[in-house]
Amino acid sequence: MKAYNFDSSAPLDGVPGAAVGLKLVERDPGTPGPGQVQVAVKANSLNFVDLTCLYGAFPVDGRIPLLDGAGEVVAVGDGVYGFAPGDRVVANPHSNWLAGPPAPGSNGMVLGIVVDGMLGEAVTLPESALVRLPDTLTYEQGASLPCAGLSAWSSLSGGPSKYAVVPGGTVLTQGTGGVSLFAVQFAKAMGCRVIATTSSAAKMDTLRAMGADHVINYVETPEWGAAALELTGGIGVDLVVEVGGPNTLPQSIVAAKTGGRIAMVGIVGGMGSIDYTAMLPVNHKVLTLYANGMGSRRDLEDMLRFVDANGIAPTVDSTFAFEAAPDAYRHFAGRGHIGKVVISHQA
């Protein structure tokens, strides 16, 4: 079978700052051992963390990339009772986190970073790393959901913290990347009001069309936290899905209501230091800041059931063939996408 490997000897051209490249190699798919399932991968999607792998954030040389993938079961090993050839499945990026809160024993095996990931024609995984893909979702849609969808899902449901949003609550999202668009869709389906931020007029229209109740251009309105506060009559939002990092956190703290929550998800707005003065309202407003780390296999099952029941269709920005996977990375690195960049093995 063919698979891509991370290759630090040839950084990917067309991705400024890349320290690592992608090499198409032949690999023996082997046969699944006891408890293992072999999957013919049909689709993948890219996440910000996959890009950071190219920047050298993790020691991934020689590993198969990508956290996200969906496909069809082609063979099962001894003792596998949950799946049979022909089943449509999607992998949980945390391949050994089954349910409940994260723990030292369940927080390590992240596909595409710590162990081989999903960017191959076939993968062999423990049965426990897979869940069924609902019939209403294509492989491309299914592959869009695990990493970004789970992070949005756990932000809203509270994940292990159980700080779930309630219908009628207000959720603030940032930008139009994978996590944030799922957060908009899930929050609307949960009966919440959404205030979304973004960088351009065209993307403001996209967010409104997706159901966002208010959209703020954070380039034109750098004090968007105060603008969100005003939109809530000075009360503040119940939850901020904080994907930006140190450059957005101060405004997120301004936007949050007393007793509100901030789901600490990412750093897509860039790294940098943060003035602790901006953090003081965390205390004054008695805010809860909590992380999620995507979610467990149980969370993935719950989220897929929710997506299925609510007819939620992931926003797919663009689709590239497996053979053009490096172009998918180049496009994603260009930062012009809205939603998910997908690789289809069926294209």
Ligand X SMILES: NC(=O)c1ccc[n+]([C@@H]2O[C@H](COP(=O)([O-])OP(=O)(O)OC[C@H]3O[C@@H](n4cnc5c(N)ncnc54)[C@H](OP(=O)(O)O)[C@@H]3O)[C@@H](O)[C@H]2O)c1
Q: Check binding of 262 to ligand X (CB under 6 A).
A: no
From the list 193, 187, 344, 183, the residue with the least C-alpha distance to 268 is 183
Q: Which residues make Cβ contacts (< 8 Å) with residue 202, sequence separation at least 6?
A: none
Cα–Cα dist 72/89, whole Å? 6
Closest residue to ligand X, based on beta-carbon distance: 177
CB of 86 to ligand X, least distance (A): 30
Residue 316 dihedral angles phi and psi, to the nearest 5°: -100, 115
Q: Check binding of 49 to ligand X (CB under 6 A).
A: yes
Q: Check binding of 247 to ligand X (CB under 6 A).
A: yes
Decide if 256 contacts 240 (C-beta within 8 A).
yes
Q: Given the rule CB under 6 A, which of 17-25, 82-90, 99-107, 170-178 is the region that contacts ligand X?
A: 170-178
Site for ligand X in 275-314 (CB under 6 A): 292-294
Q: Which residue type, as a one-letter code, is found at position 16?
A: P
Strands 288-291 and 2-7: unpaired
CB of 182 to ligand X, least distance (A): 8
Which pair of tokens denotes residue 164? 């779930």
Q: Which residues pair with 7 in a beta bridge?
A: 21
Binding-site string for ligand X from residue 130 to residue 169, where x marks contact by CB under 6 A and - marks none: -----------------xx--x------------------
Near ligand X by CB under 6 A: residue from 139, 186, 218, 320: 218
Q: Given the rule CB under 6 A, which of 10-18, 20-28, 198-206, 306-314 is the region that contacts ligand X?
A: 198-206
Q: Which residues make Cβ contacts (< 8 Å) with residue 186, sequence separation at least 6?
A: 152, 153, 156, 306, 312
Angle 146-157/297-309 helices, nearest 10 degrees?
A: 90
Pick 138 or 155: Cβ nearer ligand X: 155
Pick 64 or 210: Cβ nearer ligand X: 210
Binding-site string for ligand X from residue 311 to residue 340, where x marks contact by CB under 6 A and - marks none: ------------------------x-----
Q: Given the rule CB under 6 A, which of 105-113, 136-144, 164-172, 264-272 is the region that contacts ligand X?
A: 264-272
Q: Which residues make Cβ contacts (< 8 Å) with residue 346, sequence separation at least 6?
A: 42, 43, 139
- Judged by the rule CB under 6 A, the positions of this chain that interact with ligand X are 47-49, 147-148, 151, 174-180, 197-199, 203, 218, 243-244, 247-248, 265-269, 292-294, 335
